[in-house]
């Protein structure tokens, strides 16, 4: 175990998923203390904490669509831990809808995508801002997507929601400086459950369009988060691609 994040407390929303779990593992391996935020996956979040190296990890309900619950959690963390150094806005949702099928992308789905991917991330930043400011060098990492810039993704609303997240990242970086840095990490296709459900031929086409000739691993995304937290400490308001050079082809 290295000590790059020794003593740091890190809240990760959507921690039970593949990318969230990889980030949690990297944070714990770097000496950090993980708060595994979950919405409905309580047992998976608890199991994740049980297998992480180090001590003090805990699973906490972090429903990003419930601002009252988020404020309650912030007060609980203040009372029981007394600090929060890093917030990773990883919770997100989508559903595959062909871009030319405008009818299937109905109002309810659009609202759900934006509520989780944009409003939920903003609500977490708002709720945990006092704790992050108290840290003196707080960090918010928003997990975005290369779809924000390529406009190629699971559906049009998903692409737009991640573009909104990138814009929010830049706005918050300006608004919360100098006590809190805000950065987005934008993966391309990530090897995991979602990718494995895709048509293999389509997935190979995406690999062929990627200069580094593979999908991202969840660990690649986690490495970017650790680098931002421990080494790229003069970076804020940026969108860091983890896409293998996808937009180049």
Report, as residue numbers or ranges, the catalytic residues: 158
How many angstroms from the chain centroid is the CA of residue 164? 14
How many angstroms from the chain centroid is the CA of residue 149? 17
Tokens of 79: 């009372």
CB atoms within 10 A of CB 148: 22
Could you give the CA distance from residue 64 to residue 87 in angstroms, rounded to a whole number?
12
Could you give the CA distance from residue 160 to residue 113 in angstroms, rounded to a whole number?
10
Angle formed at CA 125 by CA 122 and CA 126, multiple of 5 degrees: 85
CA 127, 83, 26, 43 torsion-angle sign: negative
As to burial, measured by CB atoms within 10 angstroms (0-12 exposed, 13-18 middle, 19+ buried), residue 80 is exposed
CA contacts within 13 A on the Cβ side of 154: 19
* Partners of 60 in the β-ladder: 37
Could you give the CA distance from residue 140 to residue 177 in angstroms, rounded to a whole number?
11
CA 19, 85, 9, 115 torsion-angle sign: negative
């Amino acid at each position: 175990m290295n000590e790059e994040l020794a003593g740091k407390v890190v809240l990760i929303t959507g921690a039970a998923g593949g990318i969230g779990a990889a980030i949690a593992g990297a944070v714990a391996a770097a000496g950090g203390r993980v708060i595994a935020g979950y919405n409905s996956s309580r047992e998976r979040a608890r199991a994740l904490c049980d297998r992480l190296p180090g001590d003090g990890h805990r699973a906490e309900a972090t429903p990003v669509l419930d601002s009252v619950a988020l404020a309650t959690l912030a007060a609980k963390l203040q009372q029981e831990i007394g600090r929060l150094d890093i917030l990773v806005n990883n919770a997100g949702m989508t559903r595959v809808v062909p871009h030319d099928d405008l009818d299937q992308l109905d109002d309810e789905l659009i609202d759900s995508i934006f509520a989780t991917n944009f409003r939920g991330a903003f609500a977490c930043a708002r709720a945990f801002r006092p704790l992050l400011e108290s840290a003196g060098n707080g960090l918010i990492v928003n997990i975005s997507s290369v779809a924000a810039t390529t406009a190629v993704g699971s559906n049009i609303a998903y692409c737009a929601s991640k573009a909104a997240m990138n814009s929010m990242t830049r706005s918050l970086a300006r608004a919360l400086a100098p006590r809190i840095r805000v950065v987005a990490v934008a993966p391309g296709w990530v090897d995991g459950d979602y990718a494995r459900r895709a048509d293999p031929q389509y997935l190979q086409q995406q690999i062929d369009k990627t200069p580094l000739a593979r999908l991202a691993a969840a660990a690649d995304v986690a490495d970017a988060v650790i680098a931002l937290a421990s080494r790229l400490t003069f970076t804020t308001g940026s969108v860091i691609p983890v896409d293998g050079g996808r937009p180049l082809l």
